Amino acid sequence: MVEETAPPVAPSISIRCIVAMEAVRTSQDLSADAVAALVKRWHDALSGLPEATVASGAESVLASCPDTAAALGAVIEARRWAARSGHGAHYRAAMHEGLVGRSSVLIGIDSALCRETLRSAHAGQILVTGTCEDLVRRALPIGYVLRDVGERQLKACNVPMRLYELAEGSEPADAPTQADGHTPGAIRLLLVEDDRMLREALASLLRLDPEFDLVGTAPNGRRGVDLALALKPDVALMDIEMPEMNGIEATRRIRQALPETQVLILTKFGDDESVFDAIRAGALGYMLKDAGIDEIGRVVRAIHRREGYISPALVPRVMQEFARISRAGEETRALYAELSRREIEVLELLGAGMRNRAIADKLFISEKTVKNHISSILAKLQVNDRTAAALIARDHGLGRSSQ
């Protein structure tokens, strides 16, 4: 018989953390009364989670709530309680995140995925699916880690599901393990993207390509830098707008620390400033997110070969900017050819806003000589006053270093 409790709210569908716990009867030493006590304890604990919906069976409990951190705490405490009761080897659990109804946790494909993940866990094991990996990592208490146990094909899912084991330990939570399934010789990729659903979808597609080895994913730039330093990927796929640290700064830090790691910006932003900021930060490629997975794969391979790439839609604007820079350079060279070395020094100080007396003191010349130089500068530049000359200096990059 299934008992289900829910808060008095209107039925709705939302993304929630789903938890499944089960008492595994591997021998006769686990009595029916012991099982009933375990299930009741788990049911009561999960019912106390915020906005929780809980369903209990004879040997298992299925629950959902919007707070992944709170659900993780309940899972860990349930295992501790089972261990204190002498039944730690009979406890197994699973955590998954997906769409579920607040009126019932028993309905929906994501609930089925969580139950199937639970059945694939052995006694004493807690499995976490890739859908809630990042949220669980953020909430991990000291002394607990997530270990990648590879992909498994679940009946309720069309693509293989990446699974992680929640275990006690002290090694870095993102350190690769012997069971991580990495492919020797493949291009090692790091994916940094704050949109969880997009990150998980793109990660699943990248893992389908045998030429790629996705060694890690990160939800923000700061975590991306940490993982890059630890895992040393060949190519990092980087979003721009992210919490804690944006992709431009993350790219700059990764390129400074790891010159062999190339960065491909993968973003929805196609504005000129973002493109040139990324290039200045050291990114070798800039790609818009509307590209298909085949095109992304092709560009990743090109980036790995040290071949630069910019989305075709952005090429005209990039060429216009390079043309503008080239014209500015030609104008600056023409300016330098027109003026003497001393006049350029005076013009630079004019651009910095200095008065005649200050310029004279700076250059160790008389104020009268400064005035003569300024008159010559105005004539050569064909302007009427020192303010116009100072503006020209600023336009050509003069004066900033003297401020």
Rounded to whole angstroms, what are the CA distances from 170 to 150, 175, 215, 303? 20, 11, 20, 35
Largest Cα–Cα distance in the chain? 107
Residue 183 burial class via C-beta count within 10 angstroms: exposed 0-12, middle 13-18, buried 19 and up = exposed
**Strand blocks (E) in 179-270:** 187-192, 212-218, 235-238, 262-267
182 versus 7: the higher-pLDDT residue is: 182
Taking the mean position of all CA atoms in its chain, how far away is CA 10? 35
Per-residue model confidence (pLDDT) at position 292: 84
Share of the chain above pLDDT 90, in %: 12
* DSSP string covering 16-57: EEEEEEEE---STTS-HHHHHHHHHHHHHHHHTSTT-EEEE-
State yes or no: pLDDT of 26 exceeds 70: no
**pLDDT interval class at 234 (50, 70, 90):** very high
Residue 150's region, left for phi above 0, alpha for psi from -120 to 50, else beta, is left
* Highest-confidence segment of 100-104, 146-150, 205-209, 365-369: 365-369
- State pLDDT tens for residues 153-207: 777 666 677 889 888 765 443 434 333 445 567 899 999 998 888 888 888 888 8
Taking a C-beta distance cutoff of 8 angstroms, is the pair 7, 52 a contact? yes
Amino acid at 213: D
Per-residue model confidence (pLDDT) at position 3: 40
Taking a C-beta distance cutoff of 8 angstroms, is the pair 190, 216 a contact? yes
**What average pLDDT does the chain have?**
79
- State pLDDT tens for residues 120-162: 888 778 999 988 888 888 888 877 888 888 877 777 666 677 8
H-helix segments, 149-212: 196-207
State yes or no: pLDDT of 51 exceeds 70: yes
**pLDDT interval class at 400 (50, 70, 90):** low
- β-strand partners of 267: 288
- State pLDDT tens for residues 303-349: 999 888 887 777 666 666 566 655 655 665 666 677 788 888 888 88
Overall average pLDDT of the 352-364 stretch: 89
Structure tokens at 157: 């899912």
Of how many residues is the chain composed?
403
Per-residue model confidence (pLDDT) at position 156: 63
Per-residue model confidence (pLDDT) at position 180: 45
State yes or no: pLDDT of 223 exceeds 50: yes
Per-residue model confidence (pLDDT) at position 106: 67
Per-residue model confidence (pLDDT) at position 28: 53
Share of the chain above pLDDT 70, in %: 79
Q: Give the chain's domains with CATH numbers.
A: 14-168 (3.30.70.1230), 187-318 (3.40.50.2300), 339-396 (1.10.10.10)
